[in-house]
Structure 1
Amino acid sequence: MFIVILGSVLALMHLYLWLRLVRDTTRAGRLRWVLTGVLLALAAVLVAALMLPRVVGPAEAGWFAWPGYLWFGLAAYLFLALLVLEPVRLILRRRARRETRCEAADLTRRLFLARAGAAVAGVTSVAVVGYGTVRAVGPPDVLQVPVRLRGLDPALRGFRIAVVSDIHLGPLAGRAHTERLVSMINEADADLVAIVGDVVDGTVDQLGSAAAPFKDLVSREGTFFVTGNHEYFVDDTMSWLRELERLGVQPLRNENTPIRRGGAVLNVAGVNDLAGRRYDDGPDFDRALAGVHPDGPTVLLAHQPVQVEQAAARGVDLQLSGHTHGGQMWPFHYLVRAEQPSLAGLSTVDGTQLYVTRGAGFWGPPVRVGAPPDITVLTLEREP
């Protein structure tokens, strides 16, 4: 169903781009056919980027994934820019018809208006996508966020949790991406590292080398991981869980572990992603929170922010999530916000604090507009 919907949207989007960028800007003839062929070729590369990495593998897919996904981002912003210009186009065309009686002159004027609109949309879209690409593939921001927790023992004041999510290793992000993230996290000098899902878009055989630098992560209390929806898109989720554990990253699969500082306790729990339900591996909050120490606050790792509703019903103090990418590309933020209680940052839902990282990678177009990537360092303080 997802493929059918996405395919329909892409087909309609490319049809609209053909109407405005090809048909309206050219006379019938060779140039129109050439531009039509170029647009069809770009659409084919995009389809290849979406479908073929699973077949040929991420390493072999890079040569067509980069142009395909860049075109995806550019096509999206061309579509939006042309839609914004649509009322202006209609007004100017009506005025031109009233003022021009000669058919040849009317055609020339319509071509000029169409080409001017296409040029404005093109320049704007290239500028936006260029900026967004530099932001997406560059180093993530390191955010310092204080969080006040009720019941936090004074011995745990200043406890630092590095939160990272949505790394999306695959055809566009490989070992160098992981190495940079590991270096930045280690520089943050965290007590605990929380990886809240969507690390990979491929199998262990395909991306094991790209994930290998995780073994170099350093923290006083360890590195913990929960599955995201993309971990269930690979052929064998368990293989990745075993591989991450081999690299020193501890999966929390509907379970919890206490972090102790003297007599103080911080409960760290994790639940599987909602996508796991299809494979009888979904979230189980009761199991994840069973046996947590009543005298210490509970921090829950859960990939999707929407899972906070069940966390709040069970008295969780703080949930750490990702998944949204902060919307990744404005104005698509609004579509994501319709499904999730928060896009990014710290908020409170029914008494439970929710922190959502924008993620350290990207999915689809290597473009981030209005949603820069981040690694967040949360510093725990006692609520007055």
Structure 2
Amino acid sequence: MFIVFAIILMILVVFMAIYFYKFYKNEYKLTDSKIKKSVMIFTGFTLIGIMIRGVVTGIIVFIILFFSTLLFNGLGKYFKGIKLADFSLILGILLTGIIILVGVFTAYDVKQTSYSITTDKMEEGEKLSIAMIADVHLGVSITSINIEKYAKEIEKQKPDIVLLVGDIFDDSTKKEEMEKTSIILGDIKSTYGTYYVYGNHDTAPHNMFSELNEDMVLDNLLKNGINVINDETVLIDDWFYLVGRNDISIDNNRESFHNLIKDIDLSKPVIVLDHQPLELDVLADKGVDLALSGHTHNDQIFPGNLIVGLIYNNSYGLKTIGDFNSVVTSGIGTWGTPIRLGTISEYVLIELIGRSEK
């Protein structure tokens, strides 16, 4: 996935560079020396971004700088008295810096998002308090130190159960950080413990250079009291069911949802954990009360969140289909780069509340 993403962005950068050259030379009659100077500056800032935070950051810097410079050049055509075009590159650099700083601040400014959802499968007034974390991508913007802080915040809310919905770890996560974070997450106090489903990055299935592997991650989770439920159904305290799904990008032949719930009592609340928000209509039809997912990041950077909304039935937030509810989080961390624009970093608290007598 990362390789495909990087190739697409690099192709985009090449086309933008060609356009940049032709547009500037023909539209503004710039000399070759000025163009070369601009290209060198663009390349320099891109390389700085790559060296500081990797390829994705470098490419994002290039794209923002390109369009910022283009913006001031365009404004310069209509406000010639201000001579914006003469300083377009400097102004573009300043605007890029501001945008990047805002993006970094937004990525690190983790919010608490709360939802209240009702079900007729619980006694009126009965409550189940759920804490949900997904998409930490440990090491990109969030470290074990940050996780310890948010774990304490969550524990103060006295949740009944803690649900970890994939991509807590990342291909680039260091083994030591994974071990520390497993301890922290396993230590969160709740009534029914902590449950975990894998995302598409947790065990670094597509990265031969990662320090992590499935056996290592699984061993650390289990020894710290974290229950891993992939394609498994668990009845909690004879009260409600958890159905954990294998991430579809890891297992294309994962167990059918029908088989996972064929023997359960559907008069009890059913909560599905699936890293990617898939098959929502199927879940609604099968009598599921709540599905929890992440993965989308709400696409992390605007305007991508407008596009991801066309791909998934629910790309972010709460969506209700009859008595079925889907909650998709944008994630507590970020992927690829510690930048968010037009989206938020969050952990989620959900209260499932009985709305009438059984």
TM-score, reference length from structure 1: 0.77
Q: Distance in 1 between matches of 2:149 and 2:222?
A: 20
1:1-384 correspondence runs (5 A):
2=4, 3-16=6-19, 27-29=31-33, 33-44=36-47, 64-66=51-53, 69-81=56-68, 88=75, 92=78, 112-138=83-109, 140-154=110-124, 157-202=126-171, 205=175, 207-212=177-182, 213-231=184-202, 232-234=205-207, 236-260=213-237, 265-277=239-251, 282=254, 284-349=256-321, 351-384=323-356
Q: Distance in 2 between matches of 1:374 and 1:22?
A: 45
Return the offset for 1:153.
Answer: 3.3
Return the offset for 1:240.
Answer: 1.7
Kindly tell me: are residues 294 and 92 of structure 1, through their superposed partners in 2, closer, same or farther at Cα, counting changes over 3 Å? closer
Task: Specify the alignment match of 1:55 in structure 2.
Answer: none
| Aligned amino acid, residue 192 of structure 1 | I
- Runs (5+) with no aligned partner, structure 1: 50-63, 97-108
TM-score, reference length from structure 2: 0.82
- Runs (5+) with no aligned partner, structure 2: none
Q: CA RMSD in A?
A: 3.3
Higher percent of residues as helix: 1
Q: Distance in 2 between matches of 1:336 and 1:83?
A: 26
CA contact 1:258–1:293 (8 Å) conserved in 2: no
Kindly tell me: are residues 45 and 293 of structure 1, through their superposed partners in 2, closer, same or farther at Cα, counting changes over 3 Å? farther
| Aligned amino acid, residue 334 of structure 1 | L
Structure 1 window deviating more from structure 2 (230-239 vs 240-249): it is: 230-239
Q: Distance in 1 between matches of 2:308 and 2:233?
A: 29
| Aligned amino acid, residue 75 of structure 1 | F
CA contact 1:322–1:357 (8 Å) conserved in 2: yes
Q: Distance in 2 between matches of 1:35 and 1:285?
A: 55
Kindly tell me: are residues 204 and 316 of structure 1, through their superposed partners in 2, closer, same or farther at Cα, counting changes over 3 Å? farther
CA contact 1:45–1:68 (8 Å) conserved in 2: no
Kindly tell me: are residues 77 and 318 of structure 1, through their superposed partners in 2, closer, same or farther at Cα, counting changes over 3 Å? same
Return the offset for 1:355.
Answer: 0.7
Return the offset for 1:318.
Answer: 0.8
Kindly tell me: are residues 171 and 365 of structure 1, through their superposed partners in 2, closer, same or farther at Cα, counting changes over 3 Å? closer
Q: Distance in 2 between matches of 1:240 and 1:20?
A: 51
Tell me the alpha carbon deviations over residues 191-249 of structure 1, each in whole angstroms, 9 at most, x when there is no partner.
10111111111367364345242232221101111111223445533432332222222
Q: Distance in 1 between matches of 2:31 and 2:298?
A: 43
Q: How many residues align?
A: 344
CA contact 2:21–2:35 (8 Å) conserved in 1: no
Kindly tell me: are residues 289 and 234 of structure 1, through their superposed partners in 2, closer, same or farther at Cα, counting changes over 3 Å? farther
Structure 1 window deviating more from structure 2 (241-250 vs 191-200): it is: 241-250
Return the offset for 1:352.
Answer: 2.1
| Aligned amino acid, residue 118 of structure 2 | R
